[in-house]
Amino acid sequence: MPLIQVNVERSLAVRPKFLGLEITDLFLVGAVFGIAFSISQNTFLNLAIVAVCYAGLRIFKFNKPPNYTSNLFYYLGSNKAYTLANKDLDYIKITEGKQTVKKAKEQKGLKSFYNKINIWSIEDNCIVGLNEDYTAGFKIAGKNIFLVDENEATDIVAGVRSMLNNLTEKLKVQIIYDVDDGNEKMIRLYENMQPETEIEKLIFNSKLEALRNQKIRKVNIYFFITLKRNGFKKDFMDMSVKFNNYKKIAEEERENTLTELNIILNRTKEYFASMKAEYERLTDEDLIDYVYSHLNPERKNIINAPKRFNPELTTREQIAFSPAKPSWSYFFIDGYYCVAVNMKVPPESAMITDLKTIMELPFTYSLQVAIDVPIMENELNKLKRKVKQSDLILKTSNNNYEAQNKFDEQDSLLKEMQSSTQKLFNVSICVIIKDKIYSNLSSKIEAAIQSFTKLSNAQAIKFDSDHERLFLSFLPGHGNLNKLTFVFKTDALAMWLPMWQNWKGTDNLQTLLKTDNDDLINFDFDDRDLNAKHKIIAGSTRKGKSFLSIYLLTNFLMSNSDNELTTIDIGPDYKFLTEIFEGSYFQVNLETDSLNLFPVKNEIIKGDNYDSDTIQFLATIIELLTSEKGEELTKNELNIIEKCIIYAYDNIDDNDMPILSNVETEMFEYKGRDNDDAKQARILGKALHYWTSGMYSKILNSKGGLNINNRIVSFDLSLLKAHPKLRDVVFFTINFMVLRKMQNKKKGRYQVVLDEFHEFGLNKIAAKMIADLYRMGGKYNLDITTISQSPKDFIKHPAADAIMNNTFIKIFLNVEDGIDVIERFGMNDRETVVISELKSRPGYYSQAFMKYGGNSVILKIEPSSVDYWICTNNKNDNLLKEEFNNVNSKAELLYNLARKYPKGHFTLREL
C-alpha cells in the first residue's frame, strides 16, 4: 500500500490518552463502573459491564460515520478513496481497503494563509471544499443590455428572473465581474500575424507598440454555483459504517452530488440561452487558473498555474504561492495592496442600468454579487415574526412614525411574497480594488464608493479590518465569507446581476479594435456569419470619416496579402495610402485619360454565348448615356442596346475590344423587326454620338484604358465635378472593371470604397446600376463601403433600398444632421442617444458606433503614430510632410514622421 503524506488542515490540541481513549472517556468508564458497583456487588458482572462500555467506546470512537463537520475528509481520485480522519487526534488515520496507517500530525502553530481557503481539491470540473461544498462555474458573456432596445431588454431580464426563481434552495451563487489590466493573450495572437514587406512590418510593429502602451482592459464574467454535499447518514447503528465500508459510501455520495450539480448546471445553460448570453463550462484547468490568478496576482504574469498537483497534499496549499499580510486598512498579497468596498445600505429601487456606473470604473477591479438561496418557508416565517413585532410596537406606542413605516413596509412585502412567484435572496455586493502602490488606491476607493451612490441611493464603505476575508470571498464557493447581506426580491435582483459586457467581436481574428471601455475585440473582414460585408460610414464634415475609413482599410490590406482595394473619391484623401502600399493612383482627366468600358471579347465569352451579366451592365451604362434626364428606357429600347452591343462584339476578333462608336454604328444600321425598331435605334445612336465625339471622346471612346491590375487602385474624380453625368459613367465603369477583375480572383476579398457617395448616382438608372453592383458583388467576394456626411444622404438616395437591404455593418461618427432618421438604419432609442453623444479628441482618439449584424459596440479609434500619418489628410500635417521630401522611401518617411510628430501637428501643441 502506498503511504500518503498528509498535511493536517488545522492545528490540533493534543489531549492525553490511555489505552486508546482520552482521559475524559476513561472518566466515563469509571462512572459506569461506579453505577454498576452500586447496583450489583458481583465483581465479575461489574467488570463485564465496564468491558462492554470500553469496547463500545472504542468501536464508536473510530468507526462513527465520517462527516465534514467533524473534519473527516475524503479525497477521491485515481479510482481510490482515502479516508482522512482528523477529529482532535494526535494522528491521522488513513484507510485504503482494510489497511490502516497512522501518520503524525503537523507541528502545532498558527494557521497559515492557505488554511483559511476552503479548497480541498479540484476535479471533475468542480472545486471540492473542506466543508462538503461542490462548486462549478461558467465563463459567460451576456449581450450588452445597455444598448439593446426596450423589448429585448425586457425579454433578457425575464430570462434572468426565471433563472433566479428556479434556483434550488440552499444553493449559493457568485457572479464575478473581473476587470484586469491588459490583454496580452489577444495581443500575442495578433502578434503571430507578422507581415512580410518592410512597410507593413513598420505599420504592424507600431500597432503592437501602441497596444502595449495604451490603456487596455480585459473583462471576464464568472458564474459560480455551489452545492452543499448531502453528507453521510448519522445513524451509528448503520452496519455498513461499522464494517469500515467508507469507500463505497464516499463514492456513492460523491456521484449523487455530481449528478445533482450537473442537473442544475444544465438547467442554468438553458436560462443563459434565454438571456442571449454566451457561456462555456469551466474545466479543471480553468478553475485552477482562476484560483491561481486570484491568489497570485503578480506571479500569474510570470509563471503559469501548475498543471499537476501532488495527490498527497490538498490543492489549496499547492496553489497559494504568495505571502499574504492582513492589515486594518488593506490586505497585501504578492506585491498588491487590496481593498474591499462593501455595500452598506441597499438601493431604494432597481433599474437595469444601475450597475453600469460600477461596471465602467476606469481601473482594475473585481465586482461580486454573492447570492444565498435560503429556504423560502423559513424566510417567510421570519418575515411574519417581524410583522408581528412591528404590529406589537405600534399597539404599545403613540405617534411612532418610524414603527408605522417599518410595519407598512414589512406587511406589504409579506403580502407581495405570499401572492407572487418571487423569491427572497440574501445578497452581498462587494468591489475589490488592487494596486501595487498604496497611495494610488485612495482615488479609486473614492470613485467606487461614489459609484454606489448612483445605484438608487445605495451606500458603500471601505470595509476596514475585514479586507482579507472579503478578498477570499471572491474565490469560488467562498461568497458566504461576506457577512454583510441584504434581502432582495427576484425582480430587484434580476436588475443587479453584472452579466453584461461589450460585444467580443468576430470568432476569427484578423485585426484588433478597441471599444470605448478600452476592451479589445476581434474583427474579421471575412466573417462568414454575415451574409454580406458591405459597410456604411456616416459622419459630419471634419469628424474623421476618411480617417476611420483609411484606418480600417490599412488593417484590411494587412490582414491578408490576397485582399485588394479600389477607392473612388472626389478628392485625394486616399492618395497617401495608395502610395504607401505601392498602388496606382489616378486623378481622372477627361482630356488625357481613356476609360474604355468594354472588356476584351474572349474575357466575356461563356461557351457559345456572351456573359449575360456583362452585357446587361454595359447596356445599363449606355442607357445612362442615352437617357435625357436619367429616366429608365423602355424594355424594347434596352433590348435594342443589348443587341447592338452583341453585334459590335460579333464584328471583332476574339482578342480585340469594341469602343463606344462601334455600338453607335450598330444602332444606325439596326433593322429590327420593323421601322419603329430602326427609328428607335437611330434615336439612341444620335444620343450616343454626343459621347463619342467632342470633349468626351478621349475618355470614353478610346481603346485601352487605365490599368487597374494593381493590388490597390484609387481614383480621384474631383476634376469631373463640373460633369456630373460623365462622373457617374466613369464611376460605374470603374466598378464594372472591378467586377470583371473579381471574376478571375481566386483568393482573398476585394473592397470598393465609394467616398462622398451622396455625389454619385442620383437618378433611377444609376440606382438600378448600384443595385446590380451589390447583387453581382455578392457573387465575387466584393465588399462595398459607402461613405457620406449624413444618414439622410443614404435615406434620400435613389438606391436606398439596395444599400439598406444589403448592408450589415453600419458605422457612425458624430452626426450633426440626420440623427432623426437613425432608426431607419435599425437603431433603437438607446443606440440613437449613444450616437448623438459620440466624442473625439483630434490627434488622440475618436469614438465611433458600429452595428455589426445584430451586435452593437462603441469603438475607440486610437491610432498608433504610424497609423496617424497614413490616415491623416489635415492640411497642417501635409505641410509637415514636406520637411522629409528628401527621404529614400515611404517607409523611411513614415518612420521619421511618426518619430518626430507622433500625433501629427497636434504634437507641436504639447511642446
Segment 430-455 mean pLDDT: 94
DSSP string, 169-217: TT-EEEEEEEEEE--HHHHHHHHT---SSHHHHHHHHHHHHHHHHS--E
Angle between helices 23-39 and 43-63 (to 10 degrees): 150
Query: What integer is the mean pLDDT of 371-377?
Result: 83
pLDDT in tens, 762-778: 888 888 888 888 887 77
Domains of the chain: 17-110 (no CATH), 527-588+706-815 (3.40.50.300), 600-696 (1.10.8), 864-911 (no CATH)
CB 285 within 8 Å of CB 124: no
Q: Which residues contact 716 (CB under 8 A, 6 or more apart)?
A: 569, 570, 571, 572, 574, 575, 585, 586, 587, 588
pLDDT band at 584 (very low <50, low <70, confident <90, very high): very high
- Element of type H or E holding 770: helix 764-777
Band of the pLDDT at 190, cuts 50, 70, 90?
very high
What secondary structure does DSSP assign to 677-736, as a single string? Answer: HHHHHHHHHHHHHHHHSGGGHHHHS-SSB----SSEEEEE-GGGTT-HHHHHHHHHHHHH
Taking residues 649-678, report their average pLDDT. Answer: 93
DSSP helix, strand, coil percent of the chain (3-state; round to 5):
45, 20, 35
Q: Nine-digit cell at 604?
A: 466575356
Show Cβ contacts of residue 664 under 8 Å, excluding neighbours closer than 6 positions.
685, 688, 689, 692
Report helix, strand or coil for 165. helix
Which cell numbers in the block locate residue 206?
507600431
User: Comparing 189-193, 243-247, 344-348, 696-700, which segment has the lowest mean pLDDT?
Assistant: 243-247
pLDDT at 895: 93
Question: How remote is the C-alpha of 263 from its chain's centroid?
Answer: 27
Q: What is the pLDDT of residue 747?
A: 85
CA 847 – CA 830 distance, rounded (Å): 16
pLDDT-derived band at 99 (thresholds 50, 70, 90) equals very low
> Does the pLDDT at position 52 exceed 80?
no
Please give the Cα distance from 858 to 503 (Å, whole number).
Answer: 9
Q: How many CA atoms lie within 13 A of 160 on its CB side?
A: 25
Distance of alpha carbon 260 from alpha carbon 253, whole angstroms: 11
Three-state DSSP state, 887: coil
pLDDT band at 22 (very low <50, low <70, confident <90, very high): low
**Mean pLDDT score, 569-575:** 94
DSSP string, 342-371: EEEE--SS--TTTTHHHHT-SS-EEEEEEE
Using CA atoms of 285, 290, 294, 300 in order, give the dihedral in degrees to the nearest 10.
50
Beta strands in 282-333 (DSSP E): 324-326, 331-333
Pair 800, 550: CB distance under 8 Å: no
What is the CB neighbour count within 10 angstroms for residue 767? 20
C-alpha distances in angstroms, 531 versus 172, 549, 556, 739, 744?
43, 21, 18, 19, 21
pLDDT for 113 equals: 76
Task: Tell me the C-alpha distance between 280 and 224, whole Å.
Answer: 12
Helix (H) or strand (E) holding 148: none
Q: pLDDT band at residue 206, thresholds of 50, 70 and 90?
A: very high
| Distance (Å, whole) CA 469 – CA 484 | 12
Listed in sequence order, the DSSP H helices in 454-561 are: 467-472, 490-494, 545-559
Dihedral pair phi/psi, residue 667, rounded to 5° = -70, -40
Q: 536: helix, coil or strand?
A: strand
Helix (H, G, I), strand (E, B) or coil at 525: coil
> Alpha helices, DSSP H only, in 498-631?
545-559, 575-580, 612-626
Strand-pairing partners, residue 133, are 228
Q: How far apart are CA 362 and CA 383, in angstroms?
A: 40
d(CA 648, CA 626) in angstroms, rounded, equals: 17
Specify burial of residue 818 (Cβ count, 10 A radius: 0-12, 13-18, 19+).
buried
C-alpha cell at 622: 449606355
pLDDT of residue 742: 81
Q: Do 131 and 10 form a contact (C-beta atoms < 8 A)?
A: no
User: Edge-to-edge strand order for the sheet containing 73-77?
Assistant: 73-77, 80-85, 91-96, 99-104
CA angle 548, 552, 554 (to 5 degrees): 115
Q: What percent of the chain has pLDDT over 70?
A: 81
Identify which of 94, 98, 64 has the alpha carbon closest to the alpha carbon of residue 82.
94
Residue with cell 473592397: 751
Q: Is 387 helix (H, G, I), strand (E, B) or coil?
A: helix
Q: Which of 708, 703, 701 is nearest to 738 (CA)?
A: 708
Question: Residue 610 forms beta bridges with which residues?
Answer: 605
Question: Whole-angstrom Cα distance, residue 136 to residue 125?
Answer: 7
Out of 2-6, 42-46, 217-221, 273-277, the most confident range is: 217-221
Cα→Cα distances 219→212, 287, 294, 363, 502, Å: 17, 17, 14, 11, 9
For residue 793, which amino acid is it? D
What residues contact residue 115 under an 8 Å CB cut-off, 6+ apart?
Answer: 9, 10, 316
Higher pLDDT, 26 or 896: 896
Backbone φ, ψ for residue 837 (5° rounding): -110, 10
Sign of CA dihedral 463, 468, 470, 474: positive
Spell out the residues 6+ positions from residue 448 whose beta carbon is closer than 8 angstroms to its own: 341, 358, 361, 365, 431, 433, 460
Q: What is the pLDDT of residue 748?
A: 86
Q: Where are the beta strands (DSSP E) in 334-480?
A: 336-345, 365-372, 424-435, 459-462
The least confident of 53-57, 538-542, 743-747, 783-787 is: 53-57
State residue 37's pLDDT score. Answer: 64
Q: 570: which DSSP letter?
A: S
Chain-wide mean pLDDT for the chain? 83
* DSSP letter for each residue of 238-256: -HHHHTT-HHHHHHHHHHH
Q: Tell me the mean pLDDT in the region 609-623.
A: 90
The average pLDDT across 602-608 equals: 87
- 370: its cell numbers: 454573492
Q: Could you tell me if 539 and 551 are in contact, meaning their C-beta atoms sit under 8 angstroms apart?
A: no
Question: Is pLDDT of 517 > 60?
Answer: yes
